[in-house]
């Protein structure tokens, strides 16, 4: 009887140890890295943030899709011969597609005053940092040359390239070409700037 109890005790201890090891293995963080490895997403953190009431306060819906990025940029419009400064946000919907609202103010006295955009951007993984897309443009400009500015809606086409993170910072440089068509106006602009992640870090 004593030998049986000892054997049962050993089996229970071995089973408990095995279950504990399995639990530790399941809880081990399995991390994947986006881009060049500076953005780290861990399965345990992602599962935690999927609990009810935690998705939106920690960016849960975006974790598998890359970080939301905010950027600043400057450019030059070749049609009106004036510079521009602007901002943008890139919101990933899936890993290789993002929606990007942006706004640019023009610095010259003639031509356009400002332009707002809502573009969809595709970045195929096989092409590295190259991306392209297009969308909606809202342009404030003197279209008829009479001195009165009007606001009108048109289209954009975009082609660009993103670089790697600068040194150990979160800054990612980019450059793009943008074609805009609004009424009888066809503009071409070169833009360059930097993006920085505003979600997906430090969790």
pLDDT tens string 33-57:
544 555 555 554 444 444 444 444 4
For the chain, how far is it from start to end, CA to CA, in angstroms? 54
pLDDT at 16: 45
Beta-carbon neighbour count of residue 174 at 10 Å? 20
Rama region for 69: left / alpha / beta (φ>0; ψ in -120 to 50; rest): beta
More confident call, 191 vs 34: 191
**Which pTM does this prediction carry?**
0.65
User: What SS3 class is residue 21?
Assistant: helix
CA distance 73 to 143: 25
**Of 58, 63, 57, 69, whose CA–CA distance to 41 is shortest?**
63
Mean pLDDT on 110-121: 94
Take residue 148 and report the two structure tokens written for it: 């009165």
User: Is the per-residue pLDDT at 90 higher than 90?
Assistant: yes
pLDDT at 109: 81
For the ranges 60-64, 121-125, 177-181, 197-201, the lowest mean pLDDT is seen at 60-64
User: What SS3 class is residue 81?
Assistant: coil
């Amino acid at each position: 009887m004593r030998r049986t109890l000892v054997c049962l005790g050993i089996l229970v201890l071995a089973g408990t140890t095995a279950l504990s090891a399995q639990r530790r293995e399941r809880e081990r963080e399995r991390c994947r890295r986006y881009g060049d490895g500076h953005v780290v997403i861990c399965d345990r953190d992602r599962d935690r943030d999927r609990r009810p009431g935690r998705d939106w306060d920690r960016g849960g819906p975006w974790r598998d899709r890359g970080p939301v990025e905010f950027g600043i940029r400057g450019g030059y419009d070749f049609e009106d011969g004036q510079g521009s400064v602007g901002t943008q946000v890139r919101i990933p919907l899936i890993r290789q597609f993002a929606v990007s609202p942006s706004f640019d103010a023009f610095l010259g006295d003639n031509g356009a005053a400002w332009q707002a955009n809502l573009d969809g951007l595709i970045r195929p993984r096989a092409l590295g940092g190259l991306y392209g897309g297009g969308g909606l443009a809202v342009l404030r400009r003197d279209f008829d040359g009479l001195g009165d500015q009007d606001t009108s809606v048109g289209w954009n086409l975009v082609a660009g390239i993103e670089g790697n993170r600068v040194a150990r910072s979160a800054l990612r440089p980019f450059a793009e070409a943008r074609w805009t068509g609004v009424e009888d106006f066809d503009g071409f602009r070169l833009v360059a700037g930097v993006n920085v992640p505003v979600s997906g870090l430090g969790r």
